[in-house]
Structure 1
């Protein structure tokens, strides 16, 4: 099965994808209702449920975000051909769920959240570098010293990391 086959299957029968994209934020809401508000967040057992929810929502969201970057930057896909279920809803679900979790519990108390944000930073930086290299003509790089490219890469990583921390 290829990604094209998977996307076609989801497009033809979107019920399972929609069910998943609706049930994960609903599960987050239920965990926040059942959460014991008297226990400090660092000792709350609900932080492990939030960790599972973060991974359930971030993996499809990150994939959809990177798919959109690839399709719009490299394949030159038109915005009018955007598949809402595959390319937009996972990102929207991820953002809304993370914003809701942020109101319930600080991210530093959720196990593994730093790993997923670092993973997204790394993938975004790699996509940025690949796009830069794709647009760059090879003769132009011979005039730019390598240490400028390395410094630009480090600055790109820091900017992405800072933006991610400010976003949530």
Structure 2
């Protein structure tokens, strides 16, 4: 089964994915109501951590898929799959917003690692897009110190994101 076939199957049978992306924000809302003011305590912060990871992994994948589709494949916006390219991002933002209302995200275990992963992914996608847009001819006209500066800055951004992810 290819990725395209998997996406087509999910598009034809969206019940599971709709349930998945509906139950997570509902669980965050219920946890916010039941644990009001106690989000930093032991059982709640681990629940929030699990919920953030459950929405962030598909959300990050959707962002990467959108970046690839629109930047590299030059896809048509009208061909966007709502279930796989829009819904995970909206649910990720919504869930993190709901959780943030009850607890400081710096107190949620692993949130610094997932935010480091977001940062590293976006820096890498930007680097890939930049390398795809700037052809080798452009590099020959660019002064060497500027080229080194650009790569040093991008490498530093990726390195900082990676350190935050690993730490």
TM-score exceeds 0.5:
yes
Task: State the TM-score, normalized to the length of structure 2.
Answer: 0.86
Q: Contact (CA 8 Å) 2:40, 2:103: kept in 1 or not?
A: no
Alpha-carbon distance between aligned partners in 2 of 1:10 and 1:29, rounded to the nearest angstrom: 26
Alpha-carbon distance between aligned partners in 2 of 1:22 and 1:134, rounded to the nearest angstrom: 37
Count of aligned residue pairs for this structure pair? 158
Cα displacement (A) at 1:154: 5.4
Which one of 72, 80, 88 corresponds to residue 82 of structure 1? 80
Which one of 54, 57, 67 corresponds to residue 55 of structure 2? 57
Q: Contact (CA 8 Å) 2:120, 2:158: kept in 1 or not?
A: yes
Of the structure 1 ranges 136-145 and 108-117, higher mean CA displacement relative to structure 2 is found in 136-145
Task: State the TM-score, normalized to the length of structure 1.
Answer: 0.86
**1:71 matches 2:97:** no
Which one of 115, 118, 132 corresponds to residue 117 of structure 1? 115
Alpha-carbon distance between aligned partners in 1 of 2:42 and 2:121, rounded to the nearest angstrom: 31
Alpha-carbon distance between aligned partners in 2 of 1:105 and 1:88, rounded to the nearest angstrom: 26
Cα displacement (A) at 1:149: 1.8
**Runs of 4+ deviating beyond 6 Å:** none
Which one of 75, 97, 100 corresponds to residue 99 of structure 1? 97
Cα displacement (A) at 1:32: 1.3
Structure 2 unmatched ranges of 5 or more: 162-167
Cα displacement (A) at 1:123: 0.7
Cα displacement (A) at 1:155: 7.3
Alpha-carbon distance between aligned partners in 1 of 2:138 and 2:157, rounded to the nearest angstrom: 20
Structure 1 unmatched ranges of 5 or more: 162-168
- Helix, strand or coil for the counterpart of 1:77? coil
After superposition, what is the alpha-carbon deviation per residue over 1:80-132, rounded to whole angstroms, capped at 9, x for unaligned? 11111110000000001111111110001000000000001101110100000
Q: Contact (CA 8 Å) 1:36, 1:44: kept in 2 or not?
A: no
**1:144 matches 2:143:** yes
Which one of 127, 130, 133 corresponds to residue 128 of structure 2? 130
Alpha-carbon distance between aligned partners in 2 of 1:118 and 1:138, rounded to the nearest angstrom: 31
